Amino acid sequence: MITARDIMHTGAQCINADQNLMEAAKMMRDMEVGALPICGPDQQLKGIITDRDIVVKCLAAGKDPSTMKAMDLAGHLHCVRAQDDMDTVLKKMEQHQIRRIPVIDESKRLVGMISEKDLAMGHREGGRLTDKQIIEFMDSIHMSH
């Protein structure tokens, strides 16, 4: 059985819940990512913030990214457990129309992220996802936008 741990990329960095959005934007730029997990002082996953969140919910709303905190934009958190199978991962991403999802361990600490790119790379490397799984996921995510 292929699990989230098999396809996720490791090394995902958290932004601290109390760091501001300017710091979040710089981290995204430096790491060349479009989303950051938000972790609290206990290192547990608290949310996720995207570059789009910063633009739409901060800048376009006339707010100051140097004073607004990452946790201010943390919406409902969708994540998967490292031991979840790929059907569970894909179903959750499709159901909530999300293109990247944090992976947590049993203590709710971040252990990785899964993005569309990870799904595609896992498929390309052979055997991790079926053609049907990839097609259904892409249709679900891209047809609704």
CATH code assigned at 107: 3.10.580.10
| Number of helical H runs and strand E runs in the chain | 6, 6
Q: What is the pLDDT of residues 58-112, one digit of tens each?
A: 999 999 999 999 999 987 789 999 999 988 999 999 899 888 899 999 888 899 9
Q: Confidence class of residue 142 from pLDDT cuts 50, 70 and 90?
A: low
The per-residue pLDDT for 97 is 87
The structural domain count of the chain equals: 1
DSSP three-state, residue 123:
helix
For residue 141, pLDDT over 80 is answered with no
Neighbours of 81 (CB within 10 A): 16
Q: What is the pLDDT of residues 119-137, one digit of tens each?
A: 877 655 555 666 677 667 6
- Residues 114, 102: Cα–Cα separation, whole Å: 6
Check if the beta carbon of residue 40 is closer than 8 Å to that of residue 63. Answer: no
Q: pTM, whole model, 2 decimals?
A: 0.78
Q: Which residue range forms the structural domain that includes residue 99?
A: 4-143
Q: Bigger pLDDT: 130 or 52?
A: 52
- Residues 3, 33: Cα–Cα separation, whole Å: 23
The per-residue pLDDT for 127 is 52
Q: Count CA within 13 A, CB hemisphere, residue 13.
A: 12
The per-residue pLDDT for 57 is 95
